[in-house]
Chains A and B, each alone.
Chain A
Amino acid sequence: MSDLYLLWRNLFRRKLRTFLMMLAIFVAFVIYGVLGSINYAFEHGVDSSADNRLVVVNKITFIQPLPYAYVGKIAAIKGVKNITFANWFGGYYQDARNQIGTFAVDPESYLRIYRDDLRIDPAQRDAFIHDRTSMVVGEAIATKYGWKVGDRIPINSNIFTNKADGSHTWELTVAGIAYAAKESFNTSFIIFQYENFNESKTFGKDTVGWITLETDSAAVNDTVAATIDDMFANSTAETNTQSEKAFGKAFLAQLGNIALIITLVVGAAFATILMIVGNTMVMAVRERTKEIAVLKTLGFPSWRIWRQVLGESVLLSLLGGVPGLLVAGLLVALLSKVASGAIPGLALTLPVAGLGVAFMLLLGVVTGFLPAWNALRLNIVTALGRL
């Protein structure tokens, strides 16, 4: 027999109670594991943006367009190495619910800027550049809809609902499939030729959604950004130039403050668990007051009993939390498969799992501290009612 055996026997003294506490902790860690992984994937995706990439958007809001003429002016600024632009298209396939991140781009400059993020067969790249009605499809979308090179796909827009020729659908040929060169790069997208888009649309001609540029180095980012914003100050379309990371975060913020939402949900789950488990642990130890007093009478030092009680709550937390994280891992893998890479890099990563284990230990210590302290301070004479 060891202290661990004593601890185990005490923990499972009331099996149903222990099982219910483990279940509560299990659920909390499933929630943490899934939401934490999603949050990590979002954060990590944004963090993978290149340091020397800047995005120029309309100062009012990035939904407002910028004049196409800005592209040439910005390209001439000292410190700008490469430049491209894109326009949000609001595309969907067959049904408005099948939304796809669709961008009208200048093929050559766009693929040059994202050369380190996307892998595309050179022949397919050339085909895309030379065919005005073609598109490049990200791997996740190609897999989801089973599209292959040469397929002609009808794409609609929930913004540009009417084309100049009176039709409503953009028929685009799959010129190539783009693969993520970095795991965190989202391949749930379609890019097609801006020229085709600009000619076909019925309003907002010769405008772009945003301009992306590459500076000579991250060190000149601030200077270049300030030069751009100064250049268009007091114009009809003032600019706001920021790093791609900041832009990515602002874009994600459209969905709401994901990190805050996740923190609140996980926080609420943990706060509830903390109260339930903490209260139950206090009661569980209180009902053994006499046994603890007997152990002390036999000569067990107070610190050893303190360690026992604290160990009990930590073990309980681990027994509920570790299976919770494992199940979260399976759910995240399933989610990643179902979402077809819509959230790149979605997996239960080591940092998320590591933080989860740290939370388990913390939960165990916090819930066990009060009963352990009570056990430590327990007076034998009082507890045995021996006055």
Chain B
Amino acid sequence: MTGQTLIHLQDVSKRFVKGKDTITIFDHLGLSIPAGDFVAVMGPSGSGKTTLLNLLGGIDQPTEGSITFDGGRVDTLTEGQLARWRAHNVGFIFQFYNLMPTLSAARNVELPLLLTSFSRAERKRRVEAALSLVGLAERADHYPREMSGGQQQRVAIARALISDPKLLLCDEPTGDLDRTTADEILAMLRLLNQEMGKTIVMVTHDPEAAKYARRTLHLDKGRFTERELVA
């Protein structure tokens, strides 16, 4: 079930200067993602998938154009404002999980809550709930090195969900996992989209993974070449 526009990119251009050359990733790109959507972004290497994800997540800024989130401009925010915005609105899931190796699963999940004013008891309650949601309540005290790739990714999903963001950005979330585990993770993402209404943008190379999304966008040389509805 999708609703009104959550993210809107208008005439977004992104250029990098590398030595004497200027590399154009996007040139006047437009995109609208409704709230509650689950979008898979596919495309060859260097097509701009990850840059798109960076722009959507506010960890990179467009050279030109505007990005609005829930009606508010994101591209004009300062670095500090962007950090606060990310903490409240975006959950990130990476290909290689990027958990803190020195922290237990529970502590990893709790990390984003350090940016809130929740009490210790409330944080503990939320962490337990998030770990239960991903089926890892009994592994709360385990460290990343003591868990499988699939379990680590589920901890990463719990961490992404803990601050109840509207948007989940997934960068090849199953790229490091076997098929069975990948399907479990993807099913979980679909559940989060369908049951909790999370808007998800997932970059993937895997056509099987893309099938879990509501629609797939194909990106090539900084342009959408094809838009297809899956679900």
Q: Is A301 in contact with chain B by the CB < 8 A criterion?
A: yes
Query: Contact mask A293-327 → B, CB, 8 Å, 1/0?
Result: 01111111110000000000000000000000000
Residue of A nearest to B124 (CB): A1
Chain A residues whose C-beta falls within 8 Å of the C-beta of B60 in the assembled complex: 380-381
- A6-27: which have CB < 8 Å to B? 6, 9-10, 13
In contact, B114 and A291 (Cβ under 8 angstroms) = no
Chain B residues whose C-beta falls within 8 Å of the C-beta of A121 in the assembled complex: none
- A243-291: which have CB < 8 Å to B? 290-291
Partner of B111, one of A295, A301, A380, A387: A295
Main secondary structure of the interface of B (DSSP, over half): helix
In contact, B98 and A290 (Cβ under 8 angstroms) = yes
Chain A, interface residues (CB within 8 Å), range:
20 to 34
Residue of A nearest to B80 (CB): A301
Q: How far is the CA of A10 from the CA of B102 in the complex (A)?
A: 7
In contact, A298 and B112 (Cβ under 8 angstroms) = yes
Chain A residues whose C-beta falls within 8 Å of the C-beta of B83 in the assembled complex: 296, 299-302
Tell me the smallest distance from the CB of B61 to a CB of chain A, in Å: 10
Chain B residues whose C-beta falls within 8 Å of the C-beta of A300 in the assembled complex: 83, 87, 114-115
Number of A-B contacts (CB under 8 A): 71
Partner of A294, one of B16, B80, B98: B98
Count of chain B residues near A, Cβ 8 A: 32
Q: How far is the CA of A194 from the CA of B91 in the complex (A)?
A: 91
- B114-152: which have CB < 8 Å to A? 114-115, 123
In contact, A387 and B16 (Cβ under 8 angstroms) = yes
Q: How far is the CA of A300 from the CA of B87 in the complex (A)?
A: 8
Chain A residues whose C-beta falls within 8 Å of the C-beta of B171 in the assembled complex: 386
- A343-387: which have CB < 8 Å to B? 380-381, 384, 386-387
Chain A residues whose C-beta falls within 8 Å of the C-beta of B98 in the assembled complex: 290-291, 294
Tell me the smallest distance from the CB of A15 to a CB of chain B, in Å: 11
Q: How far is the CA of A9 from the CA of B114 in the complex (A)?
A: 15
Residue of B nearest to A298 (CB): B112
Q: Is B70 in contact with chain A by the CB < 8 A criterion?
A: no
Q: How far is the CA of A258 from the CA of B103 in the complex (A)?
A: 50
Q: Is B107 in contact with chain A by the CB < 8 A criterion?
A: yes
Q: Is B84 in contact with chain A by the CB < 8 A criterion?
A: yes
Chain B residues whose C-beta falls within 8 Å of the C-beta of A380 in the assembled complex: 59-60
In contact, A387 and B51 (Cβ under 8 angstroms) = yes
Chain B residues whose C-beta falls within 8 Å of the C-beta of A295 in the assembled complex: 111
Residue of B nearest to A380 (CB): B59
Q: Is B205 in contact with chain A by the CB < 8 A criterion?
A: no
Q: Is A116 in contact with chain B by the CB < 8 A criterion?
A: no
Partner of A2, one of B51, B92, B114: B114
Q: Is A3 in contact with chain B by the CB < 8 A criterion?
A: yes
Partner of A1, one of B53, B85, B86, B114: B114
Q: How far is the CA of A357 from the CA of B131 in the complex (A)?
A: 44
Partner of B115, one of A9, A13, A290, A299: A299
Chain B residues whose C-beta falls within 8 Å of the C-beta of A301 in the assembled complex: 80, 83-84
In contact, A302 and B100 (Cβ under 8 angstroms) = no
Chain A residues whose C-beta falls within 8 Å of the C-beta of B94 in the assembled complex: 294, 384
Query: Contact mask B42-70 → A, CB, 8 Å, 1/0?
Result: 00000000110110010110000000000
Residue of A nearest to B25 (CB): A387
Q: Is B228 in contact with chain A by the CB < 8 A criterion?
A: no
Chain A residues whose C-beta falls within 8 Å of the C-beta of B51 in the assembled complex: 386-387
Q: For the complex of A and B, list the 8 residue pairs with the smallest distance between their C-beta atoms, beginning with the closest.
A: A299-B87, A9-B102, A299-B86, A294-B98, A380-B59, A301-B83, A299-B83, A386-B50
Given A1-B123, A296-B83, A386-B59, 20 more pairs with CB closer than 8 A: A1-B110, A1-B114, A5-B107, A9-B100, A9-B103, A290-B98, A291-B100, A294-B94, A297-B57, A297-B59, A298-B86, A299-B83, A299-B88, A300-B83, A301-B80, A301-B83, A380-B60, A386-B51, A386-B53, A386-B171
A-contacting residues of B (Cβ < 8 Å)? Answer: 16, 50-51, 53-54, 57, 59-60, 79-80, 83-88, 92, 94, 98, 100-103, 107, 110-112, 114-115, 123, 159, 171
Q: 8 A-B contacts, Cβ less than 8 Å apart?
A: A1-B110, A9-B102, A9-B103, A13-B101, A294-B94, A297-B57, A298-B86, A380-B59
B-contacting residues of A (Cβ < 8 Å)? Answer: 1-3, 5-6, 9-10, 13, 290-291, 294-302, 380-381, 384, 386-387
